[in-house]
Amino acid sequence: MIKCFQNINRPPVWLMRQAGRVLPRYRKLRETYSFRELMETPQLAADVTLMPVEDLGVDFAIIFSDILIVPTALGMEIEWTDFGPKFLKPLCEEKNPSKTLKFSGEKFEHVYNAIDIVVENKKAPLIGFCGAPLTTLCYMIQGVSSKQNFPEAKKFFYTQSLETKNLIDIVTEISIEYALKQVEHGVEVFQIFESNAGILPTEMYKELILPSVKKIADAVRQKGIPVIFFPKGIGMGLINITSEICDIVGIDWQTDIWDARRLIDKKVKIQGNFDPHLLLTSKDKIAEEIGKYRKFFDENPDWIVNLGHGVLAETPFENVKFFVDTIKSLR
């Protein structure tokens, strides 16, 4: 299904947040440029996108951008602080939040230009992405990421159901447009990041959010591009992730990969799910934990290796490289 990997007899591997502070060359660039400058300058974004392919040997590149580009294209001003992103005027402070959003497509142009450069380079298949509506809205409503459980956003979803629906519709529509343009510019796989799936009860997630995820995925899949859905923290809600929703599901590190395999529709492939903290330990420990996945690989040759969340900024580069090399030696 992912054409370029039909003939290798080992699992393909890439890492969420592979382009970032774990790479010495990225840290060097960050001494000169801010995160925003790196993202918004197509040549720099393309260079950073390819760094993990060149320096770590991962099998896929993922475009160097951020899920919070979508709210900025809806007119929300963002500041990238040392503690993470912060919206200057979160939607929880607005009376009619959906009326304050004004879409301007030019905000995405630098992403498409970066994609063109990476695709032209032909070094590795490129993954495009967007956030799923829940995760994107959590940041838009709450404004900051420091409150990990997004209390204002949750209250908003429970108490303002009409505005919640309006906002979901707006974010979904813009995400579809953004995703389809990424496909036009040549991404070969598309991942939908739902890092906050775990903040809602399973049934509420299924009814309120999953139909919008399906809409985004449908649009991309109709173009023949496989979709990876990463619903972090969804737990037993994995039973709702069928082949109607996506082609591949990214499993978080909390979930046992065999349980995930049992719960998810057999037609859906699995990506994941090593604990990012494992890469902070030692080469011996990393090799031992990879060994435990041997049987899973034997029974699931279409497994795609990844972590169960983003690689941690403080991870030693040599450990990440060792992880990738060890996976690539599996047969």
Nearer to ligand CP3 by Cβ, of 135 and 255: the residue is 135
CB within 8 Å of 311: residues ≥ 6 apart: 15, 16, 17, 18, 20, 22, 276, 279, 320
Count of chain residues binding ligand CP3 (CB under 6 A): 23
17 vs 300 by CB, closer to ligand CP3: 17
Q: Residue 266, exposed/middle/buried by CB under 10 A (0-12, 13-18, 19+)? A: exposed
User: Of the candidates 299, 302, 322, which has an alpha carbon nearest to the alpha carbon of residue 10?
Assistant: 302
Q: Is 16 in the site for ligand CP3 (CB under 6 A)?
A: yes
Map tokens 């939908």 to a residue: 192
Closest approach of Cβ 314 to ligand CP3, in Å? 10
Candidate segments 11-19, 175-183, 247-255, 296-304, binder of ligand CP3 by CB under 6 A: 11-19
Which residues ranging from 122 to 161 are in contact with ligand CP3 (CB under 6 A)?
Answer: 129, 135, 145
Judged by CB, which is closer to ligand CP3: 66, or 265? 66
Contact range with ligand CP3 by CB under 6 A, out of 3-11, 65-73, 160-168, 178-186: 65-73
Q: Report if residue 190 touches ligand CP3, rule: CB under 6 A.
A: no
- 62: phi > 0 → left, psi -120 to 50 → alpha, else beta; which? beta
Using the minimum distance from each CB to ligand CP3, give the nearer residue, 27 or 294.
27
Which of 68/270 has CB closer to ligand CP3? 68
| CB atoms closer than 10 angstroms to residue 164 | 21
Specify the stretch interacting with ligand CP3 by CB under 6 A; choose among 61-69, 116-124, 182-190, 275-283: 61-69
Q: Which SS3 state, helix, strand or coil, does residue 191 take?
A: strand
Residue 306: beta bridge partners? 273
| Nearest distance, CB of residue 284 and ligand CP3, angstroms | 27
87 contacts ligand CP3 (rule: CB under 6 A): no
Distance CA 166, CA 233 (A): 25
Pairing of strands 84-87, 78-81: antiparallel
Q: What is the DSSP string of 199-259?
A: GS-HHHIIIIIHHHHHHHHHHHHTTT--EEEEETT-GGGGGG--TTT-SEEEPPTTS-HHH
In the list 5, 35, 296, 297, the residue contacting ligand CP3 (rule: CB under 6 A) is 35
Residue with tokens 């529709």: 265
**Is residue 193 close enough to count as binding ligand CP3 by CB under 6 A?**
yes
Q: Which of 12, 20, 133, 198 binds ligand CP3 (CB under 6 A)?
A: 20
- Give the residues lining the site for ligand CP3 (CB under 6 A): 16-21, 30, 35, 62, 64-68, 84-85, 129, 135, 145, 193, 195, 310, 313
